[in-house]
């Protein structure tokens, strides 16, 4: 077996020569059309730039459209940005950057108003004020929602309409970005697979807004496109990444064998639903003073422990104590459960945890600039410092909107159009390629990540995971060079290797990251971020970096 150091990840997934394929031009290329990408595109276009926005999937297949609970913002008279910041910092477990937290939460009310201005309709109480929900970690009600539990769908509807109507934005649904183009150390565009043809986009600035990576896990709340493409694209382009060990697992995902995993939002527990095991015993009260509303990682691990203790594949969410009619309060959840003959007002819902949110991503500054000139990142693919070691519920839509706005505005001001590079195909010959079943590798990867890089991790399992992923990585592309499926799988392998390497490096437990061999938080050694980058020979470099300046991998401030 190769050692972890022998796993090499290529700088590109294929050749590029601008003389051989069509080249489109735009001032700003935005990759992704969820809340981060759409907000960035709209702000860049409003600042005067011509924008090309590409999305490999339909708009309503992005994570954004799936968001249920809502978007956090301090809107009530008894709330304040300072209070919202305090809650965010507590959940961030010592790693959130206070100045980033203050900036993001103070812009919350403005971003809610901006979305309303685009036509997003948020739920109102009888007195006309916003109806605000409450989720775990929030000290008061501050979650704006739409149509009960369909907030993401409503936000995405308003954003998609604005994107399509803007005269300086061209949207393309379907093109898959294979590689970023980097020439003379600067990002100048991207290579795209559009059906069976390849084309290039040459731009002054590129904004990555590709969302999360939940699909690298067997159990996940994320839609099928959340493959970590952007994390892998940023890594191959030479950007620094951080916080990849922090993967948030959501405790309550509908579990019915064979059915796709549907999130049962935390607002359901916020409204009074409780967790019970197969005997009907409520177990969270003995584990945490906040019981079902304890931080997500604590509830998730408690559920797994209870599943083992009761030899069951899931636990149950009991809504009988919810004030009001659950069908009216949670119409989407009611509809999905009804399809499986579960009446949520009467029947407990079978649930178990699933991978939900990727805290880590490309290191960015306050404007969303990555460490590669010309490349910006926002939304789930970026590591802004807002979340620290864990994400406060409903802060991610907020972050996507705030950083999308900043990145779009800053990228529009980028003056230089760099020169397109030329990439030779660096892959080994496909002559002796093994006949790999991509689906088999995919399933094995997801299982490996769930078992060994999931809710509870330890050195041996993580080391083995890094080695296995490196091995698969060597063969996948040779086996099916240039196809979208192979590229997506290669991205999943790369992102998984980054997560496993970061998790192996952090020898403590904090936030979402739990090491059974280092079960306590170690503030003397680990108030730092693990910074990852690609070395010239393709191996993953992982080093603890300075907390204030994660783009300094040595951590000595130099």
Ligand X SMILES: Cc1cc2nc3c(=O)[nH]c(=O)nc-3n(C[C@H](O)[C@H](O)[C@H](O)COP(=O)(O)OP(=O)(O)OC[C@H]3O[C@@H](n4cnc5c(N)ncnc54)[C@H](O)[C@@H]3O)c2cc1C
Catalytic residue set:
296
Q: How far apart are CA 509 and CA 171, in angstroms?
A: 43
Place of tokens 């505005």: 409
Task: Pull the structure tokens for residue 402.
Answer: 């705030």
Binding to ligand X by CB under 6 A, coded x per residue (else -) over 482-521, reads ----------------------------------------
∠ at Cα 342 (340, 344), nearest 5°? 140
Site for ligand X in 157-196 (CB under 6 A): 176-177
Q: Is 502 exposed, middle or buried (0-12, 13-18, 19+ CB in 10 A)?
A: buried
DSSP code of residue 512 = T
Residue 118 vs 466, nearer CB to ligand X: 118
Binding to ligand X by CB under 6 A, coded x per residue (else -) over 384-413, reads ----------xxxx--x-------------
Binding to ligand X by CB under 6 A, coded x per residue (else -) over 426-455, reads ------------------------------
Residue 56 binds ligand X, judged by CB under 6 A: yes
In the sheet that holds 382-383, the strands lie side by side as 382-383, 361-363, 241-242, 529-534, 540-545
Residue 88 binds ligand X, judged by CB under 6 A: no
Phi, psi for residue 463 in degrees, rounded to 5:
-60, -45
Question: What's the closest the beta carbon of residue 233 comes to ligand X, in angstroms?
Answer: 7
Q: How far apart are CA 372 and CA 184, in angstroms?
A: 10
Exactly one of 64, 88, 334, 406 binds ligand X (CB under 6 A); that residue is 64
Residue 73 binds ligand X, judged by CB under 6 A: no
Phi, psi for residue 153 in degrees, rounded to 5:
-60, -40
Residue 357 binds ligand X, judged by CB under 6 A: yes
Residue 37 vs 189, nearer CB to ligand X: 37
Residue 266 vs 318, nearer CB to ligand X: 266
- Contact criterion met (CB below 8 Å) for 7 and 469: yes
Using Cβ positions, the residue closest to ligand X within the complex turns out to be: 34
Nearest to 351, CA basis, from 395, 392, 397, 318: 318
- Contact criterion met (CB below 8 Å) for 189 and 199: no
Exactly one of 7, 13, 45, 55 binds ligand X (CB under 6 A); that residue is 55
CA 504 to chain centre: 20
Question: What's the closest the beta carbon of residue 555 comes to ligand X, in angstroms?
Answer: 28
Site for ligand X in 309-348 (CB under 6 A): none
Exactly one of 4, 10, 14, 57 binds ligand X (CB under 6 A); that residue is 57
Beta bridge pairs of residue 477 = none
Question: What's the closest the beta carbon of residue 382 comes to ligand X, in angstroms?
Answer: 8
Residue 4 vs 225, nearer CB to ligand X: 225
Helix (H, G, I), strand (E, B) or coil at 155: helix
Residue 35 vs 239, nearer CB to ligand X: 35
Q: How far apart are CA 447 and CA 422, in angstroms?
A: 37
Residue 228 binds ligand X, judged by CB under 6 A: no
Q: How far apart are CA 394 and CA 344, in angstroms?
A: 23
- Length, in residues, of the chain: 558
Exactly one of 379, 408, 545, 550 binds ligand X (CB under 6 A); that residue is 379
Exactly one of 79, 229, 318, 508 binds ligand X (CB under 6 A); that residue is 229
Question: What's the closest the beta carbon of residue 221 comes to ligand X, in angstroms?
Answer: 4
Site for ligand X in 517-556 (CB under 6 A): none
- Contact criterion met (CB below 8 Å) for 218 and 211: no
Residue 181 vs 397, nearer CB to ligand X: 397
Site for ligand X in 194-223 (CB under 6 A): 209-212, 221-222
Residue 490 vs 501, nearer CB to ligand X: 490
Phi, psi for residue 263 in degrees, rounded to 5:
-70, 135
Place of tokens 């880590």: 360
Residue 371 vs 495, nearer CB to ligand X: 495
Exactly one of 26, 29, 62, 97 binds ligand X (CB under 6 A); that residue is 62
- Contact criterion met (CB below 8 Å) for 411 and 205: yes
Exactly one of 7, 27, 44, 68 binds ligand X (CB under 6 A); that residue is 68
Task: Pull the structure tokens for residue 356.
Answer: 């939900």
Residue 275 binds ligand X, judged by CB under 6 A: no
Longest dimension (CA), the chain: 70
Exactly one of 14, 81, 108, 152 binds ligand X (CB under 6 A); that residue is 152
Place of tokens 């699933």: 354
Q: What is the DSSP string of 459-498?
A: HHHHHHHHHHHHHHHHHHHHHSTT-HHHHHHHHHHHHHHH
Binding to ligand X by CB under 6 A, coded x per residue (else -) over 10-39, reads ---------------------xxxxxxx--
Residue 4 vs 69, nearer CB to ligand X: 69
Using DSSP bridges, classify how beta strands 382-383 and 361-363 pair: parallel, antiparallel or unpaired.
parallel
Residue 69 vs 553, nearer CB to ligand X: 69
Place of tokens 């916020």: 270
* Contacts to ligand X by CB under 6 A: 31-37, 54-57, 62-64, 66-71, 151-152, 176-177, 209-212, 221-222, 225, 229-230, 263, 357, 379-380, 394-397, 400
């Amino acid at each position: 077996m190769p050692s972890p150091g022998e796993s090499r990840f290529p700088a590109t997934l294929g050749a590029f020569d601008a003389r051989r394929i069509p080249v489109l031009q735009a001032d700003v290329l935005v990759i992704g059309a969820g809340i981060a990408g759409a907000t960035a595109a709209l702000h860049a276009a409003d600042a005067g730039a011509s924008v090309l926005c590409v999305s490999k999937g339909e708009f309503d297949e992005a994570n954004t459209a799936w968001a249920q609970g809502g978007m956090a913002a301090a809107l009530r008279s008894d709330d304040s940005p300072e209070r919202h910041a305090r809650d965010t910092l507590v959940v961030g477990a010592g790693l959130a950057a206070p100045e980033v937290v203050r900036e993001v939460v103070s812009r919350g009310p403005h971003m809610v108003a901006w979305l309303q201005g685009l036509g997003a309709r948020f739920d109102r109480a009888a007195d006309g004020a916003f109806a605000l929900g409450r989720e775990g970690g929030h000290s008061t009600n501050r979650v704006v929602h739409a149509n009960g539990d369909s907030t993401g769908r409503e936000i995405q509807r308003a954003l998609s309409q604005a994107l399509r109507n803007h005269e300086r934005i061209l949207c393309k649904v379907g093109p898959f970005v294979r590689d970023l183009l980097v020439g003379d150390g600067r990002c100048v565009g991207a290579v795209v697979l559009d059906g069976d043809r390849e084309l290039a986009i040459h731009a002054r600035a590129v904004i990555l807004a590709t969302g999360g990576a939940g699909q690298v896990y067997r159990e996940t709340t994320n839609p099928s496109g959340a493959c970590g493409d952007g994390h892998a694209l940023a890594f191959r382009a030479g950007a620094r990444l951080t916080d990849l060990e922090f993967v948030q697992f959501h405790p309550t995902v509908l579990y019915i064998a064979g059915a796709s995993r549907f999130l049962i939002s935390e607002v359901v527990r916020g409204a009074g639903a409780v967790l019970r095991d197969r005997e009907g015993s409520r177990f969270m009260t003995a584990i945490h003073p906040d019981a079902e509303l304890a931080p997500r990682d604590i509830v998730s691990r408690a559920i797994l422990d209870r599943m083992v203790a009761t030899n069951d594949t899931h636990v149950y969410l009991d809504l009988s104590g919810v004030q009001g009619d659950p069908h009216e309060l949670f119409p989407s959840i009611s509809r999905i459960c009804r399809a499986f003959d579960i009446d949520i007002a009467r029947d407990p819902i079978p649930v178990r945890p699933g991978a939900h949110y990727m805290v880590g991503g490309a290191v960015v500054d306050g404007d969303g600039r990555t460490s590669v000139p010309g490349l910006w990142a926002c939304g789930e693919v970026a590591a802004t410092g807002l979340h620290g070691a864990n994400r406060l519920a409903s802060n991610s839509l907020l972050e996507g909107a705030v950083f999308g706005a900043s990145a779009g505005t800053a990228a529009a001001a980028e003056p230089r159009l760099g020169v397109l590079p030329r990439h030779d195909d660096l892959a080994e010959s496909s002559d002796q390629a093994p006949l790999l079943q991509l689906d088999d590798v995919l399933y094995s990867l997801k299982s490996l990540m769930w078992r060994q890089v999931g809710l509870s991790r330890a050195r041996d399992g993580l080391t083995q995971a890094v080695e296995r992923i490196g091995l698969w990585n060597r063969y996948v592309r040779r086996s099916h060079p240039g196809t979208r499926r192979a590229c997506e799988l290669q991205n999943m392998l790369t992102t998984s290797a980054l997560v496993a390497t970061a998790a192996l490096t952090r020898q403590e437990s904090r936030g979402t990251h739990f090491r059974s061999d280092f079960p306590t938080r170690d503030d003397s050694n680990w108030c730092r971020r693990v910074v990852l980058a690609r070395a010239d020979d393709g191996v993953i470099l992982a080093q603890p970096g300075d907390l204030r300046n994660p783009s300094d991998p040595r951590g000595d401030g130099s």
